[in-house]
Amino acid sequence: MSRAQPLKEPWREQRLFFKRIAIAAIIVVLLSAGLVARLVQLQIHDHDHFSDLSRGNRIRIEPLPPIRGLIFDRNGVVLAENRPTWQLLLTPEDVDDIPYTLNELTAAGFIRVDDRSRIDQLVKNQRRFEPVTLRYRVAEEDAYRFSVSSHRFPGVVMRPRLSRYYPFGAPAAHALGYVGSISVEDLERIDRADYAGTAQIGKSGLEHRYENRLHGSVGYRQQVVNARGRILQGPTAAFLGSADTLTGNVDARLPTPGDNIVLGLDVRLQLAAYEAMGDFRGAAVGIDTTSGDVLLLVSTPAFDPNLFASGISRADYRTLNQDPDHPLFNRALAGTYPPGSTVKPFLGLAALVENNIDPKRRAMCPGFFTLPGNEHRYRDWKPQGHGLMDLHDSIVQSCDVYFYQLALGLGIDAMHSYLTEFGFGSPTGIDIRGEKAGLMPSREWKQGAFARPEDRVWFPGETVITGIGQGFTLTTPLQLAHATAAMATSGKQFRPRLVAAIEDGVNGSRQRVPRVALDTATGASEGQWAAIQRAMLGVTSEPRGSGFASMQGAVYSAAGKSGTAQVFTIDQEAEYDEEEVEDRLRDHGLFIAYAPADDPTIALAVVVENGGGGSRAAAPVIRVILDAYFASGDYVAR
């Protein structure tokens, strides 16, 4: 019989117990060591790192946008300023569900449906900690309404901001340009740090050209915030302590305002020209002959730049963009027109310099001109003809036949050479972008402009019509004004400029922009210049002058020249009846002038699209501008 096994083995259980105690002790020791090591790492080794993170959770850096520089006219009148308004901002990192929030804001009427695509793009491309402007100008009523329901939109705030405002609206739009919302394309080319907190940027005109000077430098300040990102103010912040107490190095940097810009523009002349243009399409440009300062630059029709500064809707932009009169198009700089008879004084001077004509010799004008061996008639604007004409009379009465003959004698090469000296066919270099070069044709130009060999040949008939500013010749109103200024000063030329001075936005010191002298036009003698200038004075002072009617009763003397540019070619035997021609196919009217005739200080060019003859459509606009100039106090006799 076997021995029974005991039910308990105390010594074995005791050994197992102590073994487990040892293992547990080892685990506790290891865990404790790990905890102590982690605490050492967090509290000592990584102290600075987590301290910075802690500050970041309690301190937020808020960008302070700079005040955009102002724009003044030559007399100190403000043309572009900043006005306080409410703006609706969204900070992406503070919004849990951005699409939902935007939908709710849209439903509540705080943002426009048309703006959603723009906002969605900006939110997608903007850094999450940078605020996105949802609406640039919020009415007081909407601002109050949002303040009541702001708890529904965490991460969306209403902030007071300065918004661009143009007191004179449309009349100065094409000279000043406008600011608009920063687009995705803008974000790709600008330094985002420089535009933190800024919602708008210069888009056209001076606002774009001088963006670097007008914008200024961004500042910042550090704000104490709670765990939800809400800024702590008042008793809460006081209880927690000041920002300096909390972090020891919290600071702020004030933004640097942009520089102010002073123009040579005179807003009184600008308004006078804009009103005189009325409902016509066209442009008017005035230049100070002594400096190149642009005194006025008008393009009609125009647009209200405040629409863009306040955040233009897609519907409004579509309306402007699809308008058949193209109000967004700057005709003064980019509109190209045949100069018509306004080139006659310049070609007359070229003929004198080349000894191509005797200014006293009189030639018959029967009302048409034909090339030898050719039956095609180049008609004069006066069907019955002008009779016997010399150089002076042909400019005063704008005889086409005389200049058909003159052009044929000069030849296209000489015509091109002399007219380019006055700036025809090349940009003037004005200090805003968008200027077109126009076109001064030549044999060389034609060889490169056409594909077929037979089209590259320069024909005598093309020389003939170039003599009255038709054919391929194209010029801008700015070029015409620039050339007129050179004629007024016997060839002295200055680069046209809108900006006359830049004023420091901090200390107010003003730095003049130096005028830039260009090469003197032609090598004409004093007597040759005087002969053409007397003829241009005759245009406005002699009874048969094409500008005489418009200048009657003026208290000043002005010299000028009218021009009419055909829009389409009519058949040889057809008669041009303006009343039967569609409005947009009627002739363009042009007029150039300078005054006072004996000591010029202002040169002007006006183009009226489809307005008919220059003496009827453009000369009255010139008269209004000159009346305003001599009444404004800008003119000082020298």
The CATH superfamily holding the domain 61-258 is: Penicillin-binding protein 2a (Domain 2) (3.90.1310.10)
Percent of the chain with pLDDT over 70: 89
Q: What local confidence, expressed as pLDDT, does residue 575 receive?
A: 57
Percent of the chain with pLDDT over 90: 56
Task: Spell out the domain ranges in the chain.
Answer: 61-258, 267-631
pLDDT at 371 over 70: yes
Lowest mean pLDDT among 104-118, 436-450, 532-546: 104-118
Q: Order of strands across the sheet with 59-64? A: 59-64, 219-224, 252-253
pLDDT in tens, 461-476: 999 999 999 999 999 9
**Cα distance between residue 509 and residue 492, in whole Å:** 31
Average pLDDT value over all residues in the chain: 87
What are the residue numbers of the active site?
341
Confidence of residue 231 (pLDDT cuts 50, 70, 90): low
**Cα distance between residue 379 and residue 260, in whole Å:** 54
pTM score of the predicted model: 0.82
Tell me if 499 sits within 8 A of 431, measured CB to CB. Answer: yes
pLDDT in tens, 131-155: 788 887 787 788 888 888 888 888 8
- CATH code, residues 267-631: 3.40.710.10
Confidence of residue 414 (pLDDT cuts 50, 70, 90): very high
Confidence of residue 233 (pLDDT cuts 50, 70, 90): low
pLDDT in tens, 178-226: 998 888 788 888 888 888 878 789 999 999 999 999 999 888 877 666 5
Burial bucket for residue 546 (CB in 10 Å: 0-12, 13-18, 19+): buried
Largest separation between any pair of C-alpha atoms in the chain: 164
Burial bucket for residue 244 (CB in 10 Å: 0-12, 13-18, 19+): exposed
Confidence of residue 264 (pLDDT cuts 50, 70, 90): very high
Confidence of residue 171 (pLDDT cuts 50, 70, 90): very high
Q: What is the DSSP string of 302-367?
A: ---THHHHT---HHHHHHHHH-TT-TTS-HHHH--B--GGGGHHHHHHHHHHTT---TT--EEE-S
The interaxial angle of helices 116-125 and 98-107, nearest 10 deg, is 150
Lowest mean pLDDT among 29-38, 184-193, 372-381, 494-503: 184-193
Lowest mean pLDDT among 42-56, 240-254, 420-434: 240-254
pLDDT at 243 over 80: no
Cα 578 to Cα 399, 581, 585, 613, distances in angstroms: 20, 5, 9, 10
Q: What local confidence, expressed as pLDDT, does residue 232 receive?
A: 56
Reduced to 3 states (helix: H, G, I; strand: E, B; else coil), residue 499 is strand
Q: Once rounded to an integer, what is the mean pLDDT over residues 403-413?
A: 95
